[in-house]
Chain A
Amino acid sequence: MNANPTIQSEAEAAALDRELKGLIADVLGLDPAQASAFGPDSGLFGHLPELDSMAVAGLFTEMEDRLGIVIEDDDVDGEMLETYGGLLAFARAKLADK
């Protein structure tokens, strides 16, 4: 039983944020401190030179594995990849649909 669902969901959101930043750091070989400094407006695809289409494919495969979601072709649009906030919102929505 969970007496305080708000606190739990905040903790879940923070865990997802950590997981996603760790994942980006693993794929791009970034210092974890650099990834943890990402904000909602931090640029991803088109802003980080390492993040080419092959790296994006690797990032999605890892997201599927670690978050237990399935990413379809139709899910992928410019917005979700443009900023860290967009990717986080996408992951959150996918997890909510599970």
Chain B
Amino acid sequence: MISTWTITAPDGSTTEELLVALDRGRDRRVLICPAWFDEANKLRRFTVEVMRRLDAAGIDSFLPDLPGCNDSLARLDAQTLTGWRAGMTAAAQALSASHVLAIRTGALLAPETLPGWHYAPQSGPRLLRGMIRARTIAARESGFEEKAEALMALGRSEGLTLGGWPLSAAMIGELESAEPVLVAGQSEITQAMLGGAGLWLRAEPDEDGAQADALAAIVAESII
């Protein structure tokens, strides 16, 4: 279930990243583009629970780590949106994915060549707004003042650490205008379709079997 995949960086060097795969060599093979950063932690268990349900429904699935995340040897502050997009497209090819299930900001990385689903997609600007806000609130709590606009200006020129995640200037610049795009064959799955509140909202990681059932059922029923 736990293996690795190899990604080629823009400079031609290769790195090995973690891969969770429920692979029984079946025809329907879903690439998961996971949620990012803090939301990735909150949704990790939920994501794998959905994969287990897909497995039971006769569908293979693959959850690749992105360079700079989790156990990666690559530096997060060296990553760009373009690089991550290329990485997910390469993963889709290497794993012979037939579909994509993108979760939250993962929708920004969904390969356009695959049919599939965006679950509760989040845009780059909204991701940044939430992370910048967490930083200004934490600063205030520590007794000093940071302004969102000044932080964004710094982020654009030098990069910025948000919520403990060091992001490059290139990444922040790209995220400022990054919107998820549903291409033909892809559709959105809203939180309302699952019922209950999104697990990324929770202050602490949690799980919800009924929501995992619902998401896996939507994928299994609409997969072609």
Tell me if A51 is interfacial: C-beta within 8 Å of chain B.
yes
Tell me if A38 is interfacial: C-beta within 8 Å of chain B.
no
Residues on A with beta carbons closer than 8 Å to the beta carbon of B201: 26-27, 58, 62
Tell me if A60 is interfacial: C-beta within 8 Å of chain B.
yes
CA distance in complex: A56, B206 (Å): 17
Tell me if A28 is interfacial: C-beta within 8 Å of chain B.
yes
CA distance in complex: A57, B198 (Å): 15
Q: Looking at the complex, which one of A28, A29, A56, A62 makes contact with B134 (CB distance below 8 Å)?
A: A56
Is the Cβ of B203 less than 8 Å from the Cβ of A28? yes
Is the Cβ of B134 less than 8 Å from the Cβ of A57? yes
Residues on A with beta carbons closer than 8 Å to the beta carbon of B137: 53, 56-57, 76
CA distance in complex: A71, B203 (Å): 20
Residues on A with beta carbons closer than 8 Å to the beta carbon of B140: 76
Tell me if A19 is interfacial: C-beta within 8 Å of chain B.
no
Q: Looking at the complex, which one of B138, B198, B200, B204 makes contact with A53 (CB distance below 8 Å)?
A: B138
**Binding site secondary structure of chain A:** helix
Residues on B with beta carbons closer than 8 Å to the beta carbon of A42: none
- List which B160-188 residues lie within 8 A (CB) of chain A: 163
Q: How many residues of A contact B (CB 8 A)?
A: 18
Residues on A with beta carbons closer than 8 Å to the beta carbon of B197: 26-27
Residues on B with beta carbons closer than 8 Å to the beta carbon of A37: none
Q: Looking at the complex, which one of A29, A61, A76 makes contact with B129 (CB distance below 8 Å)?
A: A61
Tell me if B130 is interfacial: C-beta within 8 Å of chain A.
yes
* A10 smallest CB distance to B (angstroms): 27
CA distance in complex: A62, B197 (Å): 11
A-B contact pairs, 24 of them (CB 8 A): A26-B201, A27-B197, A27-B203, A28-B202, A28-B203, A50-B203, A52-B203, A53-B134, A53-B141, A54-B38, A54-B134, A54-B163, A56-B137, A57-B130, A57-B137, A58-B200, A58-B203, A60-B133, A61-B126, A61-B133, A62-B201, A73-B136, A73-B147, A76-B137
